[in-house]
Amino acid sequence: MAETEAALRTLAHNVRTARKRAGLSLDELGQRAKVSKGALVALERAQGNPNFSTLVRLADTLGVSVSALMEGPAEGRVRVVTADAVTPLWTGAEGSEARLMLTTSGPAPVEVWRWKLEPGEEYPSHPHQAGVVETVSVTAGRMILIVDGTEHPVETGQTASFDGDAPHTYRGAGTETCHLIMTVHIPPGPAAAV
């Protein structure tokens, strides 16, 4: 329980800091990210339980990575992260999951995710801000990547890249669990005014 409270305090601090750095009021951030002002007030007070979709919309709007909203200060020059030490940010009804392993630092950060997709289970993602590029590298099994309504099969050993500002969905395919590494390349700076 104390771990969850500490994580909420870190998230609250990081959202407030990123919002102020971007020069946005709670109302402006709420309108751009499609999150109610009440939810933002609660979040910045380390209350509530924002879902994965809300965190992605806030990060996109603020021009930062999801992990930049969730992580405390860096602990050293080299960071090694074990998958079991990272809580999934999304879990599907059939056992699929997505874990944000880490985010690189610098003006154009890259998020590194581990995904597990069960056959037939899917995760639809809203479009990200312009300039976001995603890659998916399948390490086991098969998946269907759907971008702008077009299906693209991606097999073991294959990597696909696409602009993340279009609607996209990840779906497990075949009969075996699909394992993949996804990267999200985020352009520098806060999102432009909408």
Q: What pLDDT, in 10s, does the model give residues 35-60?
A: 888 888 888 888 877 877 788 888 88
- Residue 135 pairs with which residues in a beta bridge? 161, 183
Q: Per-residue pLDDT for 9 more than 90?
A: no
Instruction: Quote the strand ranges of 11-163, DSSP E.
Output: 90-91, 97-103, 110-117, 122-125, 133-140, 142-147, 150-155, 159-163
Q: How far is CA 82 from CA 85, 101, 113, in A?
A: 5, 8, 12
Write out the two tokens for 128. 């990200």
pLDDT tens-digit profile of 106-161? 778 899 999 999 999 999 998 988 999 999 999 999 999 999 999 999 999 999 99
The CA angle 171-169-94, to the nearest 5 degrees, is 40
pLDDT at residue 184, rounded to an integer: 94
pLDDT at residue 139, rounded to an integer: 98
Mean pLDDT of the chain: 86
Mean pLDDT of the region 68-95: 79
pTM of the model: 0.68
pLDDT at residue 76, rounded to an integer: 65
pLDDT at residue 66, rounded to an integer: 78
Identify which of 2-6, 78-82, 88-92 has the greatest average pLDDT: 88-92
86: Cα separation from own chain's centroid: 13
pLDDT at residue 86, rounded to an integer: 80
DSSP 119: B
Between CA 187 and CA 57 the distance in angstroms is 15
